[in-house]
Structure 1
Amino acid sequence: MKNWKKMLAASLAVTAMVGFAPQATEAAYSLNPEVKDATPALLEASQIGVLKHETPELQNLANKDAIVVMSFGTTFKDTREKTIDATVAEIQAAHPDVKVVTAFTSHIIIDRIAAKEGIKYPTPEEALEQLKAEGYSRVALATLDVIPGMEYAYDKGVYDNYKNEFKKMTLGTSLMYWQGQEEQADDVTETIEALKSQFPKQGKNDAILIMAHGTPQISNAFYSVIQAKIDEMGLKNVYVYTVEGWPSLETVLPKLKANGIKHITLMPMMMVAGDHANNDMAGDEPDSHKSQLEAKGFKVDAYIHGIGENQKIRDLYVQRANDAWDALEAE
């Protein structure tokens, strides 16, 4: 481990970017100044945290700034207003003189909302094309993703595909990104502390099951970090499981039985309380998580609220957006 750290230190040096958070946020890495002739591969490898790109050929353009907030989206209008719309409104309030655009990464959801509600949300690509047409030259990309998974990879793809179209572009991090390593911030613990504010009071026979999404991407391992942080914080009988990944509901069942759990509260760790929360988690069908647990003799309650309804979580998302904005404004 020590040798690995020495090798990394030879190539990378930590750069702190200070946002509107109460304390400095370690938001990005930059190459060690001793590296004079970095190859494209090394430059790519060093792009961690808040990303920043300046296009030399466009530096004569006047600054005209915008923020694009990217979210997967949801067809559930009520939860969308309480979570996505509420968070974007708070980002806008933090930057009252800046154009803030909401973009959805799910093309299916965009089409369904348009057909059902007559509202056309742009994709991130469409939002950037429109901003470019309107003469915007600098754009901060913010994300409402929970972990840096497949959806965040889409966000980074947008950044990579459009960064040369603007004078300057930045990309902020997901809600949970840094894990306290290498003197970085501990986004995971910070998020769990915020999430803890909505936990019900627990007795010795009570458990809280936090339903995450899950992903086929290697970033699915992030859920193990979240569980480890929960345990490290001393939160008893609080377990993370996923609807489309590992750990699954079956993974945590033996722990519930071993600890004598009789009552369970289910809650989603997703921005919105959409189809997964209402149907997969808390639906009346026999294969819902609630029904499966009840069939095994547990008493089950469901907290059907997206984490975007939690003010403490929204505050963290505003901080993530501020990190991207600060990087855009930095000289």
Structure 2
Amino acid sequence: MRRLLLLICMILSFSEVSLSENKRAILMVHYGTANDTSRARNLDVLNKKVAEAFPGYKVVEAYSSNMVIEALAKRGIQKDHIRESLQKLRQQGYTDVTIQTSDLLDGVMTALIDDVAREMRSDFDTIRIGRPLLWGLDDCRWITKVLTTRISAGSNGIVFLVGHGTEGPANAIYSELDYVLQDMGHKNYHVVTIEGYPNFDNAVKILKEEDHKQVTLYPLLMVAGNHAVKDINGNWRQELTEMGYQVQVIQEGLGSIKEVQDHLISQIRKLINQ
């Protein structure tokens, strides 16, 4: 009996050591938003869904935008940067970390994640880095099916998917998505951007060429935050209305859509199982 008890104690002790040596975490990295409602509907919900999908992992978040972090800090809301989150995970004994961004593009912010992870790689046994939501052709085809099912152009309408835009080469994914939309037969759907190309002027040009009366503006953004409120539902809507168009703005972020949540969870699972 004493031998049996000793054996059980040894097994339990070994299990505890093994678990402590392989504590696993998922770090969700968001650009972030200062809009409380959008944060709750998109980022918080996404984090919760990931935590539910991976019960054996500690799921934490980090923001990549110092501007957003500082704005929230002034209101007493604490959000860690990527480096701070990784440092805390290291201090808590986590050795296996999977980093998944909620960024749409493989641009400046994903490069920042790579840089920080490279600096801290030696602090962990394993660091995996997931790719952004729109990384290539398959992702463009997938999001086309999701959004064209979700958003109707109507009989004489047109839908503009309005992304943020960037000056770098990552902006090319918007053109690829637009081409995929046309190639898959969705002629009344176009991709434009707030700060990149194509932009608002290009949207107006399309409207004049195609003679549509009803316009739907949809934020091609993970979070329908300040850009969606001020630019899309503000300036863009006002100018198009003054031009005589009937304008509808759908105020939702991609992070609130189940298919997008499931897609990111699937990416995380594939990354972990590689």
Provide TM-score, normalisation by structure 1: 0.74
* Partner Cα separation in structure 2 for residue 188 and residue 123 of structure 1: 29
Which residue identity lines up with residue 142 of structure 2 in the other structure? E
Within 5 Å, which residues of 2 pair with 1:223-262?
A: 223-262=174-213
Among 196, 201, 207, the alignment partner of 2:148 is 196
- Aligned in 2, Cα 1:96/1:319: closer, same or farther, shift over 3 Å? same
Which residue identity lines up with residue 303 of structure 1 in the other structure? I
1:136 is matched with 94
Which residue identity lines up with residue 91 of structure 2 in the other structure? A
1:152 is matched with 110
* Partner Cα separation in structure 1 for residue 186 and residue 232 of structure 2: 22
Question: Partner of 2:25: helix, strand, or coil?
Answer: strand
Among 31, 39, 42, the alignment partner of 1:72 is 31
Within 5 Å, which residues of 2 pair with 1:1-331?
A: 62-116=21-75, 118-179=76-137, 186-203=138-155, 205-283=156-234, 288-327=235-274
Q: Alpha-carbon deviations, 1:248-287, whole Å to 9, x = none?
A: 011132221121101101110101111110011111xxxx
Consecutive aligned runs of 4 or more in structure 1 exceeding 6 Å deviation: none
Per the TM alignment, residue 201 of structure 1 is displaced from its structure 2 partner at its CA by 4.8
Which residue identity lines up with residue 107 of structure 2 in the other structure? G
Name the count of aligned residue pairs. 255
Question: Partner of 1:301: helix, strand, or coil?
Answer: strand
Answer whether contact 1:87 1:318 (CA < 8 A) is retained: no
Per the TM alignment, residue 120 of structure 1 is displaced from its structure 2 partner at its CA by 0.9
Which residue identity lines up with residue 141 of structure 2 in the other structure? T
Q: Alpha-carbon deviations, 1:118-172, whole Å to 9, x = none?
A: 2211111000001111111111001101121222222222222222221111000
- Which has more helix, going by share of residues? 2
* Partner Cα separation in structure 1 for residue 199 and residue 170 of structure 2: 15
2:7 is matched with none
* Partner Cα separation in structure 2 for residue 233 and residue 124 of structure 1: 38
* Partner Cα separation in structure 1 for residue 104 and residue 148 of structure 2: 16
Structure number with bigger Rg: 2
Question: Partner of 1:197: helix, strand, or coil?
Answer: helix
Which residue identity lines up with residue 207 of structure 2 in the other structure? L
Identity %, equivalent residues: 29
* Partner Cα separation in structure 2 for residue 304 and residue 191 of structure 1: 18
Answer whether contact 1:141 1:324 (CA < 8 A) is retained: no
Question: Partner of 2:94: helix, strand, or coil?
Answer: coil
Instruction: Identify unmatched segments of 5+ residues in structure 2.
Output: 1-19
Per the TM alignment, residue 321 of structure 1 is displaced from its structure 2 partner at its CA by 2.1
- When the two chains are superposed, the root-mean-square deviation of aligned CA atoms in Å is 1.4
Instruction: Identify unmatched segments of 5+ residues in structure 1.
Output: 1-60, 180-185
Question: Partner of 2:21: helix, strand, or coil?
Answer: coil
Per the TM alignment, residue 310 of structure 1 is displaced from its structure 2 partner at its CA by 1.3
- Aligned in 2, Cα 1:303/1:147: closer, same or farther, shift over 3 Å? same
Question: Partner of 1:261: helix, strand, or coil?
Answer: coil
